Structure 1
Amino acid sequence: MSKKWTRRSALALIGSGAGLLTWGTGGFTDVTADRQVNINTTADDNGDPTDNPLLGITTHDGQVVFETETRKLVTLTNNIGPKLDTVKANVQNKAQLDFDVEIDSVPNSLDDESGTVTATVTGSGSNCIKETGQIELKISALSTSTDSAPEITATRSISLSCVNCLNFEQPETVTPSGFIPDTGSQFGLRDEFDPKSTLSYGWESDQTDTTRERGELQATEEDTLAHFTTTLL
């Protein structure tokens, strides 16, 4: 029996009220104790894999999300063994955020597998302002198995930014804050501004040679452009 499974088994057995075997100088004694416990994993998943958290939680921090885009907030991994029959997640601090976060999907259950919690992020309109905040996500997982801990709860903080404007610019332009770039590339997945981007947009054909940065105005978003049509004089 591995050290990893021993630790989880012990917690699960205590959580389900199993009998414990103790011993001393007088021999063995069989002790039965019924217990109802919630196991909080807030400090359990600290990034050290040797800790073997019951519910592995990987947060997807630092994302730059475009208006109404759906992104992964956390990835959950069932490390406990028995199936987690119910998984829930909700945002605790929605009223305090500068942008709106609506949970889009949560795994219905977790067997010997991983699942993701996704959310749709919506800003306050086309204000071209980068809004950054910390999402406080409460997660709970419940197992009805008799050889598993009855409930696992955790809270995680996920940092992300929401933007809602697009800037036509050259590939080498430093994209101004509050914008995502359009450099004239052909239609496809655009993840230049964030590797976790799910957005697809672009042109019918490559138009990078029509983008311009004139070097005349201080504000980058006012100084860059893409020619829809060009006229040679």
Structure 2
Amino acid sequence: MQPDSEKRPAERLARFAAEALDWPAVREVLRRFVVAPLGQRALDELAPRTSAEARLALERARELHGLLLAEGVEPPLGGASDPRGVLDRAEEFQRTLDGDELAQVTRFLHALEDVYVWLAARRARLPQASALFVRLPDLVPLREELEAALDPKGRVRDDASPQLARLRVGIASLEQAITRTLQALLRDRELQRAVAEGHAGRVHRRGGRPVLALRAQYAARVPGIVHDRSQTGETVFVEPEAVVKHANALSEL
């Protein structure tokens, strides 16, 4: 049997090793050095690795650290936001991405391409880090297609597809027809008496529907659908019958 004096150092070493594998604590120590969203996710997913995986990861770190010390250069990670959140939500709810989300994915693809080009130019010096991109598919066509579909503000262009162009023309036409009809109603002198105080000439939205704010006692002068009332009940928000057909068509697009 080992003497107690020999057991104590071994026990202390075992306790130290166990504490060193306290991953939540390790993550918090490393978190102060993480600056990019992708790094935050990688840190959150950090887990013990096999010896071979750990050696490769350490070798990649040594390569990049050596380059930083020798030349003071780092990978171009600007704009490398993490798109997985929007992609996961789109998959979960079975929906398409909106313009802002597509723009976020496009920025990520740009950043990924920048890192790929940066590593490719240093493949001889960073062989293990460069190997991360060996199985990466060619995403340039996807990035170019997204850029062609988005304007500089991240909105989907009207000409992104023939169908979208037709839809937007139809939407604009219906919105113009609704606006013209409502403005004509608001110019009617008889109707002006029914408009609630402080709402003259104004068109409101309730549940996405175009409505006029009318005095409750005069609301019957405007045939239509009541969508809302003020807290006092003195004002009702009516969608005039004259625009219901157009508004229905608009909601279906």
TM-score (norm 1): 0.24
Greater fraction of residues in strand? 1
Greater fraction of residues in helix? 2
Structure with bigger RCO (C-alpha 8 Å, 6+ apart): 1
TM-score (norm 2): 0.23
Higher Cα Rg, which structure: 2
